[in-house]
């Protein structure tokens, strides 16, 4: 890939800025390990870094992962996110099941309430009730 001389100067500034950020010696930015800080540190526009020097942006992120041991952290975070998504899916299923149970119980309660409020039919007078178990003596 051939670069114009002014772009070569930009690339050199970006590489030096990478080194400063990764060693914690930022001079022109807040020192965060982001493309925005890299562009500010190198004195180039963010879009120039993203468009003309995308390879350097990718190189920067790779160096950040390797040199700050973020690969292990990233892997652990991804595993945590996976576990949390499973937990959330289980909770959603449980919530749906509980909602269905509430609906069913509400309907059953309404039916029982309606039956108890309606008048007893013929032959169901209280004096006509036979206990299932004979009273103990």
Query: What does each of the 137 residues of the chain score in pLDDT, given as a tens digit?
Result: 455 666 788 999 999 999 999 988 989 889 888 899 999 999 999 998 889 999 999 999 899 888 877 767 777 888 999 999 999 999 999 999 999 999 999 999 988 888 777 655 554 556 666 666 666 76
Residue 31: give the domain boundaries: 5-68
Q: Has residue 42 been placed in a domain?
A: yes
Report the number of distinct structural domains present in the chain.
Answer: 1
Question: DSSP characters for 49-96?
Answer: HHHTTHHHHHHHHHHHHHHTTHHHHHHHHHHHHHHHHHHHHHHHHHHH
Q: pTM for this one?
A: 0.49
Q: Has residue 61 been placed in a domain?
A: yes
Q: Has residue 24 been placed in a domain?
A: yes
């Amino acid at each position: 890939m051939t670069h114009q001389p002014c772009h070569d100067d930009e690339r050199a500034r970006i590489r030096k800025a990478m080194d400063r950020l990764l060693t914690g010696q930022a001079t022109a930015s807040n020192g965060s390990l982001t493309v925005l800080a890299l562009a500010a540190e190198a004195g180039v526009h963010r879009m120039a870094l993203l468009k003309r020097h995308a390879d350097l942006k990718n190189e920067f992120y790779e160096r950040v992962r390797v040199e700050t041991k973020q690969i292990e952290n990233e892997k652990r975070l991804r595993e945590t996110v996976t576990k949390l998504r499973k937990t959330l899916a289980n909770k959603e299923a449980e919530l749906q099941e509980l909602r269905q149970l509430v609906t069913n119980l509400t309907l059953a309660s309404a039916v029982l309430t309606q039956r108890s409020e309606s008048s007893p039919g013929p032959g169901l007078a209280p004096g006509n009730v036979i206990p299932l178990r004979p009273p103990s003596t």
